[in-house]
Structure 1
Amino acid sequence: MLSKRLLPRSLFGRWLLLLVAPVVVLQALLTYIFYERHWDTVTRRLALGLAGEIAVVIDTRSQNPDPTVLGDLLVRMQRALEIDITFTPGADFPSDVPPPRRYSILDRMLIQALGERLSLPYMIDTQRGGGRIVIYVQMPDALMTVVAPENRVFSTSTYAFIIWMAAASVVLLGIAVLFLRNQIKPIRRLAEAADAFGKGRDISNFRPTGAEEVRAAARAFMAMRDRIRRHIRERTDMLAGVSHDLRTPLTRMKLQLSMMPPAQETEELRGDVEEMEKMVEAYLAFARGQSEQPAEPTDLTGLIQELADDVRRRGRELQITVAEPVTLPLRRLSFKRALANLIENALRFGQEVRLSVGRRSGRIEIRIEDDGPGLPEKEHHKVFRPFYRTDQSRHGSGNVGLGLTIARDAVLAHGGEISLGQSDLGGLLVTIRLPV
């Protein structure tokens, strides 16, 4: 569980991790192997060579006290090995020599090599600078000072190896990042197209690009989009055609009823015909809501004000609270019909109706609430079904049962959400959340 939390959330981050992790592990292993097997071995051998040369000088001075012989040896070592050796009679170790560095491989290897080759006390100074090291050997009658180039003990190829390896890794990772970005772009475009299609927006400019697998996914998405559009179009045309055809017999029935003498049976039939006419109008409204309309930037505040004016002309009042002007890509007629159905539903069952618009959690939230009888919580998910009506619900007489269905479909077609709840006024609260 912890490992999943540590993984990057994005595909780009995970692909980058798959590239970076092996490179880092490989570099760590190569550096360790080089450090242990090459750098350590080479430095140790160089240190042993220098310590052996110092031991030869000490042995020569002890066995042959002739200064001429010793001087000739020191001159040849200076010329061939670039080692400067001097003897200070009666001197002791300098007091200003810094202690060996604890984590320095040079200090560690030099101390080990001198300890193996020399039996006399010694001190090292590798911090003098200038690319030189100093070794002090305390002899019985003098202080031996050895000044040698640092490259006699330390291999500088290590730094070059690490620099070249790091530089090559940075260049390769840079190329990999550019390549990954280009591979991720088609996937992001596919996700944006799917999101836009879910919100009912036009995606006519979308084209399959990228790797073959991404192109296959894009082509499958486009085929699915076309099938959904065709299915909606066919269902809408069928529903609109059936509803339109029903108007003809209803009109004949109304004409025949108007010519019949008044009677109780006639009035009952006339009521049935009027209810059927309302149902047909609801079917047509539902079909119009399912039709494909282009989403255009719409002033939501102005649209709500139009609905409030319509309510006011009917002698009712709709309280509006808009936190800020909002413009969204909407199918204007479809969304206006959805809000009108919700407002009409609230006006039918409540005396006081409020509509508020605000921005919450990066989404536009529309709240419609009333002071009516409300709905039991168990009915909240049922009332969105087409033609669902119950005597205990807010669907009274004259209601076909498509108002909330039309509203829900319109909201979902815009990529939004609709939910029901308890209003502060005591009635029903309808909340619509739309993406920005």
Structure 2
Amino acid sequence: MNKVLKKYLPKKILPRLLLIFLLPLIFTQCLLVFFFYDRHWEKIITRFSNIAINQINLIKNEYKINGLERAKEVANKLNIELLIVEEKELIKEKNTFLKKKIETNIQNRVGKDTFLIFGENIINVFNKDKENYMLIKFPKKYLLSETPIILFLWIISISLILSLIAFLFLRIQIRAIQRLAKSAEEFGEGKNVKKFKPEGAMEIRQAGATFMKMRSRINNYISQRTNFLTGISHDLGTVLTRIKLGLELISNQNETTQIKNDIKTMEMFLKEYLDYSEKIKKKKFSKINILQLLNEVITSSKSLEKKTSIFCNSKINFNTNKNYLYRVIFNLVENASKFGKCINIKVKKKLKLLTIEIEDDGPGIPDYDKNNIFKPFYKIDSSRNINKGGSGLGLSIANELIKKLHGEIKLRDSKTKGSIFSIILTET
């Protein structure tokens, strides 16, 4: 039952709130209209039946006593028409609730050989008189009343006014929720949220104030972490510089080769720490050629150039930040080169959607590591060897940068048992 309700319920909160407001209102009005019309038509039917019965009996008596002409004169004075028709001319119609109800009332007091046929503006009442039928035509206005129409218009008008007021009020409340959600989303993307101010109902204001406190605590944490990483990186950089100077003074170069290699590895780590601790600022977007950008990434390293193949249309251009996208692609390609002998880069663009797939033929990534691969300092088992390089920040930096470009990175297994990192961007 719950699954069925969830399937048909609106997904957004405004339609749901309107549904909560409108359903009881519509249900109540339907009941009101039903009971009113039931009572109203009961009165209308009774009134018309009494009028018709009295006038039919009067005309029948006049017809029996004084003849047809005198009966017609009486009928004219009552603003009704009297005719005598043969039985073979009659065509009966199907019964309706209204017709059956009036017929029954008239038959109970006039005779069973009485039936009705509704015309466009008249009600034809047929009453058998010997071999023929007496046709008495009543104006249909006897069944008409302005009261239901006026009531119906009042109900519709009041409902529309109340619904409009409810819609405007709910929209104001929803707008406050939407602003809170938008601010939370922007903050989650790393944007600086300055203009947010709690508004709306007390509960929404409370949620907004809680969000602001949480934002402040997170910003303080990020600031402390950034300062910590920056301080350590600079301090270690100073120590490494001194070690390098000391090594230059040693005459035996064979003994210092391994130490210099270790120093280069540490410098690479420090560079990644500094890159990660830097505040990523929003930069301007511009139209760039994707193939040209990929060639720049690949030619930046001889090892990448040898093992990388690019499949991209030279006419694909995209509006984005070149430096950020360059860094994202470089980090992913460099990561693929550590574990694979062959790298394929495929580019597809459909309308405003750009997809860049970076595929390697390495050992792949276990399923239990896929959810953590973009976390800072996280390393899967196959990459823990120091000879492979990497501080565990390359993919994390790429993931942060791609969010700034309004995109995402998806990971899946390739047919060659390696991995495919897909960069998905929407042009703005």
Q: In which range does the TM-score fall when normalised by the shorter chain?
A: 0.7 to 0.9
State the partner residue of 2:230.
240
Amino acid at match of 2:138: A
State the partner residue of 1:148.
138
**Aligned equivalents of 1:349, 1:142: Cα separation in 2:** 107
Judge conservation of contact 1:416–1:435 (CA < 8 Å) in 2.
Answer: yes
**Aligned equivalents of 1:180, 1:388: Cα separation in 2:** 45
Judge conservation of contact 1:137–1:143 (CA < 8 Å) in 2.
Answer: yes
Query: Within 5 A, what are the aligned runs for 1:28-427?
Result: 28-59=30-61, 62=64, 65-66=65-66, 71=70, 78-79=76-77, 81-84=78-81, 86=82, 88=84, 92-93=86-87, 95=89, 97-105=90-98, 107-119=99-111, 121-127=113-119, 129=120, 131-140=121-130, 143-201=133-191, 203-262=193-252, 269-288=259-278, 291-299=279-287, 301-302=289-290, 305-306=292-293, 308-312=295-299, 314-315=301-302, 316=305, 318-322=308-312, 324-328=316-320, 333-359=323-349, 364-377=354-367, 379-381=369-371, 383-389=373-379, 392-393=382-383, 397=387, 399-402=389-392, 403-411=394-402, 416-424=407-415, 427=418
Q: CA deviation at 1:286?
A: 2.1
Classify 1:366/1:142 alpha carbon distance in 2 versus 1 (closer, same or farther; 3 Å): closer
State the partner residue of 1:3.
5
Q: Percent identity?
A: 28
For residues 300-355 of structure 1, give each alpha carbon's deviation from its aligned partner in whole angstroms, at most 9, with x where no partner exists.
Answer: 645x7345225325432543344642224x5x655533322222223344443222
**Aligned equivalents of 1:281, 1:141: Cα separation in 2:** 115
**Aligned equivalents of 2:165, 2:417: Cα separation in 1:** 63
Classify 1:312/1:124 alpha carbon distance in 2 versus 1 (closer, same or farther; 3 Å): same
Judge conservation of contact 1:47–1:152 (CA < 8 Å) in 2.
Answer: no
Classify 1:432/1:23 alpha carbon distance in 2 versus 1 (closer, same or farther; 3 Å): same
Amino acid at match of 1:326: F
1:397 is paired with a residue whose SS is helix
Judge conservation of contact 1:384–1:408 (CA < 8 Å) in 2.
Answer: yes
TM score, norm. by length of structure 2: 0.81
**Aligned equivalents of 1:306, 1:350: Cα separation in 2:** 22
Q: CA deviation at 1:260?
A: 3.4
Classify 1:389/1:75 alpha carbon distance in 2 versus 1 (closer, same or farther; 3 Å): closer
Number of aligned residue pairs: 419
Judge conservation of contact 1:202–1:295 (CA < 8 Å) in 2.
Answer: no
**Aligned equivalents of 1:226, 1:379: Cα separation in 2:** 31
**Aligned equivalents of 2:26, 2:276: Cα separation in 1:** 61
Gaps of 5+ in 1: none
Amino acid at match of 1:287: S
**Aligned equivalents of 2:371, 2:83: Cα separation in 1:** 101
Gaps of 5+ in 2: none
**Aligned equivalents of 2:83, 2:330: Cα separation in 1:** 107
**Aligned equivalents of 1:45, 1:295: Cα separation in 2:** 82
Which one is further off, 48-57 or 153-162? 153-162
Q: CA deviation at 1:435?
A: 5.3
Q: CA deviation at 1:28?
A: 1.9
Q: CA deviation at 1:182?
A: 4.4
Judge conservation of contact 2:280–2:401 (CA < 8 Å) in 1.
Answer: no
Q: CA deviation at 1:274?
A: 3.9
Amino acid at match of 1:166: I
TM score, norm. by length of structure 1: 0.79
Amino acid at match of 1:229: N
Amino acid at match of 1:108: K
Q: CA deviation at 1:239?
A: 0.8
Query: Within 5 A, what are the aligned runs for 1:22-33?
Result: 22-33=24-35
Which residue among 420, 423, 427 is the counterpart of 1:432? 423
Judge conservation of contact 2:338–2:388 (CA < 8 Å) in 1.
Answer: no
Q: CA deviation at 1:115?
A: 0.6
**Aligned equivalents of 2:374, 2:135: Cα separation in 1:** 97
Q: CA deviation at 1:205?
A: 4.6
Judge conservation of contact 1:198–1:415 (CA < 8 Å) in 2.
Answer: no
Which one is further off, 400-409 or 235-244? 400-409
1:54 is paired with a residue whose SS is helix
For residues 339-394 of structure 1, give each alpha carbon's deviation from its aligned partner in whole angstroms, at most 9, with x where no partner exists.
Answer: 22222223344443222333579854321123445455555456545445577438
Classify 1:213/1:390 alpha carbon distance in 2 versus 1 (closer, same or farther; 3 Å): closer
For residues 114-140 of structure 1, give each alpha carbon's deviation from its aligned partner in whole angstroms, at most 9, with x where no partner exists.
Answer: 21111262342321x3x3323232223
Amino acid at match of 1:311: I
Amino acid at match of 1:236: T
**RMSD in angstroms over aligned alpha carbons?**
3.7
2:317 is paired with a residue whose SS is coil
Which one is further off, 350-359 or 9-18? 350-359
State the partner residue of 2:15.
13
**Aligned equivalents of 1:83, 1:271: Cα separation in 2:** 118
**Aligned equivalents of 2:192, 2:386: Cα separation in 1:** 38
**Aligned equivalents of 1:391, 1:309: Cα separation in 2:** 31
1:296 is paired with a residue whose SS is coil
Classify 1:375/1:101 alpha carbon distance in 2 versus 1 (closer, same or farther; 3 Å): closer
Judge conservation of contact 2:297–2:329 (CA < 8 Å) in 1.
Answer: no
Classify 1:43/1:295 alpha carbon distance in 2 versus 1 (closer, same or farther; 3 Å): farther
Which one is further off, 158-167 or 19-28? 158-167
